[in-house]
Amino acid sequence: MFSFVGQENLLDHPIEENDIHSATQDLQSDMEEVKVSFQNKTLALQRIQIMDALREKLKQDDDDSRLILETMKRIMLLSQTIIEYQQRAHQKEQQLIDIKRKRLLLKNRGQKLQEIQNMMKKPKEKQESVNVIETEKILQILEKERAITTILQNVFQNIIIGSGVNWAEDPSLKAIVLQLEKNVYLQ
């Protein structure tokens, strides 16, 4: 056995089990990466070979090549249709988000209106203590809130009706539409 000066013999140091386990895991992960890379390269090569075979077949201009060409056209048409439907779904999601925002705004304004109505229902002694100017301001605010709420109700109804959704079949939408028909001036 040859021994160099300053070089330690590996057998002189005990190999720890953790080091072996760590090295094994590193090798396994490296091996997995190589396998995945090989599979990806194999798939890419197969795709290239298939495309080359299809090109050659299309050059022959026979019944099979025409069938392949028609199939490819059909695939393109279906792909375009899928993209269109995905865009429509995205638009509907945006509309739904807008409706939810408006609904939240309507809810907040409804809560403000309820607070104002609760203030007006207080006993007469408390109402008399409020001076006339403040009462007029509250009534003006109430009137504005009722007008805004009525407009929001109409907008929300038009959004539901304009969306083309059959609200009469959906119990939650039906409840919302019927709730929106209530006159805030009568509440």
Residue type, 39: Q
CA distance 176 to 179: 5
Separation between Cα atoms, residue 35 and residue 29, nearest integer Å:
10
Alpha carbon of residue 65 to chain centroid: 42
- Residue 93 is predicted with a pLDDT of 92
- Is this structure's pTM higher than 0.85? no
Of residues 166, 163, 161, 164, the one with CA closest to residue 180: 161
Following CA atoms 122, 124, 128, 134 in sequence, which dihedral angle do they give, to the nearest 10 degrees? 30
Consecutive 10-residue runs of the chain (187 residues): their mean pLDDT? 48 70 91 94 90 82 83 89 93 92 90 81 62 81 87 83 82 79 65
Cα–Cα–Cα angle for 15, 19, 23, rounded to 5 degrees: 125
Query: Can you give the pLDDT at residue 41?
Result: 93
User: Is there a contact between 65 and 57 (Cβ–Cβ < 8 Å)?
Assistant: yes
Domain boundaries, the chain: 17-84, 92-180
Q: Which two tokens stand for residue 8?
A: 């330690």
Any idea which residue has 């807008």 for tokens?
98
